[in-house]
Amino acid sequence: MGDHCCPVVANVPVSARYWHMVLEAPPLACAARAGQFFHLKCPAPPGEPAPFFRRPMSVYQARPDRGRVEFLYKVAGHGTRGMAALRPGDSFDILGPLGRGFTLDLAWRRIIVLARGVGLATLAPLAQDAAQLGVGVTAILSARSPEDVLCREVMAEAGARVLAVTDSEGTSDPDKVAALIRAAVARAGAEAIFTCGSNRLLQLSQALARELGLAGEVALEQQMACGLGMCLCCVRAFRGADGEIEHRRVCWEGPVFPLQEALSW
């Protein structure tokens, strides 16, 4: 882990709200794991001051063969506006890889990944890792509308069975997603479920995991400052294995946590 100035290879919009950035970073491409994140020193957006704090961003792709690290991001505010202003050849200061990533059990035959919006960026490399290890993947991608469904191609290329649900088509309600997951488990089996990016989907995953006897993990998004476990800005409450409430740093003990230990918000 360290602070690196990486050349921008590409930084382009992929839809009205989401952007894709590719950085040249050979050592980081080898080091970064699915579920980990980088802490980004976003430059000043045009006409605005530079953000004071870094911004956390999940590893979307870390490709050792190409020496590249990639981010898939939503332009949400000050920092990500500055990020979107970077052009090929610019240098981007990124700190990481940070945090604890996902865990895959080689005994599993199939996992379910369930996420919404940029939460899918966090789960895409997990689906690729699973595929490489011979673990099947059912990917349920949730979005506002069909145009907003992210990561469809990456998941499909990894060999995942991809099911998209959207608000505009009326298919993303928790009851409908629950029915889809029950049907997927009945059809092909699954031993674990992974989620990110939505409180509603976290609650649904926890309930279904209990009902169907699935293991699982959740990647949490929490505003953070140092990203290194020192400032305690990102502390959240969890239910420990013994049922007691514990406080943990999302940046350091996470951002990936056992599914049933996360408390919904």
Ligand X SMILES: Cc1cc2nc3c(=O)[nH]c(=O)nc-3n(C[C@H](O)[C@H](O)[C@H](O)COP(=O)(O)OP(=O)(O)OC[C@H]3O[C@@H](n4cnc5c(N)ncnc54)[C@H](O)[C@@H]3O)c2cc1C
Binding site for ligand X (CB under 6 A): 37, 51, 55-58, 71-74, 76-80, 118, 121-122, 221-224, 255
When the beta carbons of 9 and 225 are compared against ligand X, the nearer one is 225
Shortest spacing between CB 74 and ligand X, in angstroms: 4
When the beta carbons of 43 and 56 are compared against ligand X, the nearer one is 56
Q: Residue 67: name the closest of 18, 26, 38 by CA.
A: 26
When the beta carbons of 69 and 140 are compared against ligand X, the nearer one is 69
Q: Residue 259: name the closest of 200, 173, 193, 212 by CA.
A: 193
Shortest spacing between CB 219 and ligand X, in angstroms: 7
Report the alpha-carbon distance of residue 40 to residue 93 in Å, rounded. Answer: 6
Tell me the residue number closest to ligand X, measured at CB.
77
Longest dimension (CA), the chain: 55
Report the alpha-carbon distance of residue 41 to residue 78 in Å, rounded. Answer: 12
Shortest spacing between CB 113 and ligand X, in angstroms: 14
Order of all β-strands in the sheet with 55-58: 55-58, 37-41, 91-98, 2-13, 18-24, 68-74, 61-63
When the beta carbons of 57 and 214 are compared against ligand X, the nearer one is 57
Shortest spacing between CB 253 and ligand X, in angstroms: 12
When the beta carbons of 34 and 209 are compared against ligand X, the nearer one is 34
Shortest spacing between CB 125 and ligand X, in angstroms: 11
Strands (E), 144-240: 161-166, 192-196, 215-219, 235-239
